[in-house]
Amino acid sequence: MNAIKDAIKSGKTVVGTAGSPSVDVSLLADAGFDFVLFDTQHSAWEIKQLQPPIQAMRGKQTAPVVRVAANEAHQICFALDAGARGVIIPMVNTRAEAEAAVRACRYYPDGNRSNAGVRGEWGEFKTYRDYMDAVNKELLIVPMIETNQALGNLDAIASVPGVDVLLIGPSDLSIELGVPLDYACDTYQRALDKIAAAAAKHGIAAGMYFIPLGMDPNFFVQKGFKFFTMPWGPWAQAGIRNALAEIKR
């Protein structure tokens, strides 16, 4: 029903990439990423313009995942009505905030998602209630851990039913820790280990929103992280360079 949720539940590593309004996201979906990210917090995507690009991914294995700009029910509702298969929620700092995010993702009786008969790209269902039940159960819900407050509430956040991943906001977390963008220092590494341990303890995944420049993704894989985004540009350029070199050799 939702391949990315199934992958996370079965302990697989998932890798996505950020789409942008100037690129046909179906090209990225066809390249084999587990998800394409629509970031409405820190990129040019507008939450109300996501339906056409998400529709363009219809029938593909790659999941559309939306980062909302804030932990607000109406933002989450826009993302889900557009057809997101996963939602990333920034700055989730407490159990109550995690619970509010999960409630906003789910229809009654599991939550308070508003319903106006708009539904995203989740395939065919016999009845509307079947769609509601499927999304309630199958949506991937990803709160971001990027503050000292969240670091102090890891168990409380990770134990909220419905939370699938603890996703680190690498730069905000480094700023909060007083080591801005110093991803290699001990303070930062200790925080990463604490988050990975909390996720493992509660049987969910830990993730890095991006891999800091110059760091090896495998370093994070070895620490137990399972959810990443990688920039597709350098990989595409490398592939094109190689193909050109083959022709021109």
Contacts to ligand 3PY from residues 177-236, by CB under 6 A: 209
Q: Is the CB of 99 or the CB of 172 nearer to ligand 3PY?
A: 172
Q: Which residue stretches of 56-169 are H helix?
A: 73-82, 95-105, 128-138, 148-152, 154-158
202 is known as an active-site residue: no
Binders of ligand 3PY in range 58-117 (CB under 6 A): 90
Residue from 146, 191, 195, 227 in contact with ligand 3PY (CB under 6 A): 146
Q: How many of the chain's residues bind ligand 3PY (CB under 6 A)? A: 8
CB of 41 to ligand 3PY, least distance (A): 7
Give CA–CA dist 186/188, Å, rounded.
5
Cβ count within 10 A of residue 73: 17
Segment contacting ligand 3PY by CB under 6 A, of 20-28, 134-142, 165-173, 234-242 = 165-173
Q: Which does 42 bind (CB under 5 to 8 A by kind): ligand 3PY, Mg ion, none?
A: ligand 3PY
Report the 10 Å Cβ neighbour count for 52: 9
- Which of 170, 211, 220, 232 touches ligand 3PY by CB under 6 A? 170
From residue 245, give the alpha-carbon distance in Å to each of 31, 237, 241. Answer: 21, 12, 6
Residue span 151-190 as binding mask against Mg ion, x where in contact by CB under 5 A, dash where not? ------------------x--x------------------
List Cα–Cα distances, 41 to 9, 66, 156, 240, in angstroms. 26, 10, 25, 31
CB 111: neighbour CB atoms within 10 A? 18
Asked if 42 touches ligand 3PY (CB under 6 A), the answer is yes
Which amino acid would we find at residue 95? R
Catalytic member of 21, 42, 181, 187: 42
Q: Which residue has the closest beta carbon to Mg ion?
A: 169
Q: Does 111 bind Mg ion (CB under 5 A)?
A: no
Q: How many CA atoms lie within 13 A of 160 on its CB side?
A: 25
d(CA 85, CA 239) in angstroms, rounded, equals: 29
Q: How far is the CB of 194 from Mg ion (least distance, A)?
A: 18
Alpha carbon separation from 18 to 62, 72, 129, 199 (Å, rounded) = 12, 22, 32, 24
- Kindly state whether residue 43 participates in binding ligand 3PY, applying the rule CB under 6 A: no
- Residues classed as catalytic: 42
Which positions touch Mg ion (CB under 5 A)?
146, 169, 172
By CB under 6 A, name the binding residues for ligand 3PY. Answer: 42, 90, 146, 169-172, 209
